[in-house]
Chain A
Amino acid sequence: MSDSEEHHFESKADAGASKTYPQQAGTIRKSGHIVIKNRPCKVVEVSTSKTGKHGHAKCHFVAIDIFNGKKLEDIVPSSHNCDVPHVNRTDYQLIDISEDGFVSLLTESGGTKDDLKLPSDEALLTQIKDGFGEGKDLIVTVMSAMGEEQICALKDIGPKN
């Protein structure tokens, strides 16, 4: 019981390591992340039940794909591990929106990132385009997980000078 090692963050800094991390199902809470059917999701509902009255607990997850918004469900024994995706969110300054639907972003190191496509959804698209069109200085937050990327938030930091 008395293993007296210190708690360190175990992840190594090397990029390209696994895209997910195993975590006990019982500790995953509402609004946490989870991988279901190989898709990164956000949990919107957790309920528990038992297999037979004297069996072990199992968790029932209802979750939403963080990229395409689809609803997914899964049942896992609560002592088992689930895959939890590494979800990264990075802020960039928006430099340009190109004709072919790509954005040009300024990275922290001063370089540009030009490989991100605008969302296809009309409503989101207009929100970004309108803000940019009005000449506001915009910061976009790009969410990435399991090899996919998407703009997930937008912040106005004042008019362009």
Chain B
Amino acid sequence: MQGFPGGAPDPQQLQATMLAIEQACSLIQVHMNPSEAEKVISSLHSSLMPYQACRFILETSHVPNARFQAAGAIGDAAVREWGILSDDNKRSLIAYCLNYVMEHASSPEGYVQAKVSAVAARLLKRGWVDFPDQEKSAIFFEVEHSIRGIHGPNRQFAAINFVEALVSEFSPATASAMGLPKEFHEQCEWTLEVKFMKDFYCWAQAAVFNAADSILSGNASIDEEKACSAAFRLMFQILSWSFKYNVEHANSETKIDSGLRSDAINLKKFERSLVKPGSMWSDILISSGHTTWVLNFYTTARQKYSYDPLWFDSPIAASCRQLIVQLCSLAGSVFPNDSGDAHINHLMHILSAVVLWIEPPDVIASSIRNGASESEFLDGCHALLSIASFTTSLLFDNLLKSIRHYGTINLLSALTSEAVKSFVDNQNEEETWGSDALDISLEIWNVILGDFDADKSPMSVDGAIAASNLFKIIVESHLKAAADSAFEDTDDAEYFHVSVSKRDEQLALYAQIARSAADTTIPFLAQLFSERFARLSQTNGENDPTQTLEELYWLLLITSHVLTDSGEGETLLIPEALQAGFPNVVEVAQHPVVTLSWSIINFSRQCLDPGIRARYFSPRLMEAVIWFLARWVATYLVPLDVSRGQVSRAEIDNVDKHGFQHSRKVLNSFAWENNQGELVLDFVVLISMVALTTYQGENELQTLICQKLLATVVRRKHTCTFIVQLDSWRDLTRAFASGRSLFSLSGRLQRSLAETLACAASCIKDPEASVQYLKDLMGPVAGCLVENASRSDLKSVAQKADVVFMVCCLLERLRGAARATQPRTQKVLFEMGHTVMNSLLTLLEVYKNQSAVIYMILKFVVDFVDGQAVFLDSNETSVLVNFCLRLLQIYSSHNIGKVMLSLSSSLRNELQAEKYKDLRALLRLLTNICSKDLVGFLSDSSIEGSQDIAEVIYVGLDIVTPLISLDLLKYPKLSRDYFALVSHLLEVYPEKVANLNNDAFARIIGSLEFGLCNQDSDVVERCLTAVNALASYHFKERLGGRGGLSSQLMESEGSNGTLQESISSHFLRLMLQLLLFEDFRMELAGSAADALLPLLLCEHGLYQGLVQELLEKQQNPTVKSRLAMAFHNLTNSNNLSSLLDRPNRQRFRKNLRAFLGDISGFMQIK
């Protein structure tokens, strides 16, 4: 072939190369010495001008893998050697690849052909900008002819394949690397989209069109079908392109009125986004009737092949359906700028075809259960989902009404019920069609019910009936499943938590359906509850209640979801659907939500009776009850002022809808009426006490009590002020402070309980009472610790397991209380901490070999300092700081130089892990102390105090840094803590760093370098801050005529070997490297500018030199001049001065951003 690169081939050598490659390929396949074989193959890829050899292999080898590798080698080599190939060479390589795929189109090894196509596409892209247009046209002329089928189906297939490869090569997400700037890739993307994409689509259309007749008549050959399905695939691929260069018309009001959504949703969950090719595509996609044609084609074909169950999974059927689903997502200016009619028509057309795939759902579902293919059904669901994302629920429902006597929601409801049934039946199996279909259909409900314009288009009457029926089926299926599974063992805890969040997500979606027909579904739930309550009370210990318990468990979960939102950490409101759902209810006693709530709460109350509790309040049922209570209290015990405010505001808005407003008011106020609210809160405390003391060892349940129920009640001021006045609450706190019963809780729970109980103090209105409350609560705990730590026989009893356990419990409680520090309670808690300080030091000594206790002490101090730091005056600060100093000294004297010996590697790892946790705690402690200093500094506290702090931190750092290795810094949590501390330290005390000894200094600088190259942008940011601090200090010192950091030298890799240089030059080099050659993240530009500016100012000479060096290295003159320009602007634009004041820093930030934007086009390459 003319112009083919590479010299005249030597036949023997070619033969030898081919044999070597073939051998390597077969070795890899049988997994013999794969690394050796890979070396052989990669040598072909990287060798100079391997084209002749590759060509030889492609044409003569009988080993398909060898041909595959040869093709890849052509691509790699050509991209690498592009600069030295002549224009003829380039053209002939592309032509060769294309001819190869055409000529070998019937070859059975599709993957080799695909690879050669991909290489052709890659090279064509590489030359895309250089090649003149007519050359590209010549190539595409051939391709078009083949695609239109002139050269037979095999070539047709090959050509389609090539275009597919081309589209994916030009799409940014799938493009291969070429060592070219981003701009190049963008330019290619643009021209392809604007000039070629539509043509490609038309060719594929023509290919399908030409093949359609023979396929529909059943005369098509296998090759023809193959080409046709490839064409469908190509069309799908083109419609999946993310179109960027189109103009959208503005959203018009009329369109919104038509029922199309103004907020068409991107369905991220199913990886689908809108297809917006723009008005240019209108003719071929919309006005030409293309969609209708595709739909008709599929409908006719499925009818024709209905006898063959395998056809539905055939490539042609699958790819055609895929295209149809993609056509559903068409949006934007591809439709004419009318009132949305064209778009609605389009959706209706699709729906009328797709409906055959999913209707009637029960018949289809049963045939799938008998072994039929489910793919068409699932695709139908996907199409429905796309349609729903464009329409309001009203329009969605109406779309079907033109061809059926019921709406789309009706169909959806039937479809979802089938999915639920199938899902519930096969719950224990992996991935079934039922769970897929359920996921999709629940998402459709979510889309239509979550429409934020729902007020304007409420659900139709039959829509509501459909939703209500569906919910009944959902509940019945799940209740049956619950009863059936009641005797199974529960899963292992870890797996359990994953499945719980998945289950909650599903339940929340079910709940949404229930709320859309609240007037029927809530009474339905109430009825189910009362049936089961009755059943339980009839059992009388004769029948096993387990099945009923499991049903109740599930009912409690779903009812919680229906009645309340989950909203972690937010103020919960009563769900709007429930507030608006009962306009005709005016009597409190008749409100279904009210009756349902009270019936559940009254049932729960029975657990206070020991006999009944033993009979049927199993731990699991209690968990559901507690969970329900927590959510209910948070939602329905509405703050009184809020509930009144809401209603009165609403009354002004809407005087007419009197009944409507009244029912809202009922819902917002019923919980507090007749002292019910107080009774419920009292019950909350009583049930907590029962669960904490009589359900021994049920950690799940007790965690829910401490961390969910009690925490919820205490966190809300309006419930907390009530609860602290209750007798039951007083009993609980007394039991905690001086009883023994609560010591049976696990340590962690005692901590949460202490925190919750201490938190409540800030809701006691009278300050003195609040102080007394805390003293009563924590006094005995602190006292006990002190008393026992000062025992004379401490040494001999301390190591006993029960004593260790007790000490841990007390420490956990103290820590819990420390975490509850608030402005009002800070003083009391500081005193508490103060009284135990000496005891803690004693315990630290006694328990130096009990890592669990040591860790507990450290964690208490960490939380204590964290809570207290901001409040302390200078006296208190110095007490605290002295304490911390002694703590650090004792810890270090015990741990430096200690080697743990153990036979078992896992025990050794455990010990390591414990040390690692200690280290993190120490870092935290130092950071927390630092934060005090910052505040102290702002409030201008005494200088004495702040010096103390600096000392503590340096002692601490001296202890901690030798224990932290660079390996340990790879652990993200530790490294984050460490860098937070170091950067803070360098910012606040740069002068101390100057006085560090060489080892310590090198350790810090070494870790900074490590941090600058970290993946975590938080860490990099902190390091940049640290560098900024160091360099600014150095600069200011030198400005003042002092030495700064000049005495600290660093070894670094310069252009001519290792050299000793100052710390600022060292970091300057590092920063330039980072900015220019690494994948630098734009969000860090601000901090990078702050770090770079002082470095520039310190080392101006070196900077000029480095820039010069960089410019000289550039071969390409355009790049060189652009780079020079960018560097010039960096330091000269915006009137940059040589000061480190704020305005100047701002200017430099701007400059650096511009600089990075400038160079990103040609320095950071893909």
Contacts and interface: CB of A to CB of B under 8 A. Distances in A.
Nearest to B689: A1
Contacts of A8: 784, 787-788
Contacts of B898: 153-155
B806 A7 contact: yes
A78 B897 CA distance: 40
Interface size class of B (residues with CB under 8 A): 35 or more
A54 B549 contact: yes
B743 interface: yes
Contact of B797 (A13, A42, A84, A151): A13
A2 B699 contact: no
A64 interface: yes
Interface string B693-707: 100111110000000
Given A53-B485, A53-B490, A124-B903, A29 B746 contact: yes
B494 A47 contact: yes
A59 B699 CA distance: 10
Contacts of B810: 7
A67 B902 CA distance: 8
B735 A2 contact: yes
Interface string A113-147: 00000010100100110000000000001010000
Nearest to A77: B697
Interface stretch (B455-463, B618-626, B765-773, B1132-1140): B618-626
A134 B899 CA distance: 16
A52 B734 contact: no
A15 B796 contact: yes
A39 interface: no
Contact of A53 (B492, B620, B739, B796): B620
Given A4-B734, A153-B898, A53 B801 contact: no
A6 interface: yes
Contacts of A47: 492-494
Contacts of B800: 9, 11, 21, 86
A13 B796 contact: yes
Interface in A67-102: 67-71, 77-80, 84-89, 91
Interface string B774-810: 0000001001100110010100110111110110001
Nearest to B734: A2
B697 A3 contact: no
Interface stretch (B150-158, B445-453, B529-537, B904-912): B904-912
B834 to A, nearest CB: 21
A155 B784 CA distance: 33
B746 A27 contact: yes
B710 interface: no
Interface string A1-28: 1111111111111010000110111110
Contacts of B620: 50, 53-54
Contacts of B850: 89
Nearest to B731: A1
B940 interface: no
Nearest to B750: A27
B876 interface: no
Contacts of B70: none
B852 interface: yes
A7 B697 contact: no
A155 to B, nearest CB: 4
Interface string B427-450: 000000000000000000000000
Contact of B910 (A5, A11, A31, A78): A31
B550 interface: yes
Interface in B731-755: 731, 734-735, 738-741, 743-748
Given A29-B747, A50-B489, A155-B899, A87 B697 contact: no
A72 B376 CA distance: 53
B803 A154 contact: no
A106 B803 CA distance: 27
Contacts of B738: 2-6
A48 interface: yes
A5 B900 CA distance: 41
A7 B788 CA distance: 9
Nearest to A76: B697
Contacts of A25: 697
A53 B799 contact: no
Contacts of B490: 49-50, 53
B901 A1 contact: no
Contacts, number: 205
Given A9-B788, A119-B901, A153-B899, A56 B805 contact: no
Contacts of A13: 793, 796-797
B673 interface: no
B216 interface: no
A4 B796 CA distance: 27
Contacts of A152: 900-902
B805 to A, nearest CB: 6
Nearest to A136: B897
Contacts of B494: 47
A105 interface: no
Contacts of A50: 489-490, 619-620
A91 B799 CA distance: 13
A72 to B, nearest CB: 12
A155 B739 CA distance: 42
A55 interface: yes
B739 A52 contact: no
B903 A1 contact: no
B801 A85 contact: yes
Contacts of A103: none
Interface string A35-63: 00000001010011111111111010000
Contact of B802 (A21, A53, A78): A21
Interface in B666-708: 689, 693, 696-700
Contacts of A55: 618
Smallest CB-CB A-B distances: 3 pairs:
A69-B904, A26-B697, A78-B697
Interface of B: 485-494, 546, 549-550, 553, 618-621, 689, 693, 696-700, 731, 734-735, 738-741, 743-748, 780, 783-784, 787-788, 791, 793, 796-797, 799-803, 805-806, 810, 849-852, 897-904, 906-907, 910, 914
24 contacts: A1-B735, A1-B741, A5-B740, A7-B740, A20-B801, A26-B698, A27-B746, A31-B910, A48-B699, A52-B546, A53-B485, A53-B487, A53-B550, A54-B486, A56-B697, A57-B619, A57-B698, A57-B700, A59-B697, A78-B696, A87-B801, A119-B901, A141-B849, A143-B849
Interface of A: 1-13, 15, 20-21, 23-27, 29, 31-33, 42, 44, 47-57, 59, 64-71, 77-80, 84-89, 91, 119, 121, 124, 127-128, 141, 143, 151-157
Given A4-B738, A13-B797, 7 more contacts: A9-B797, A24-B744, A54-B546, A57-B619, A86-B799, A152-B902, A157-B897
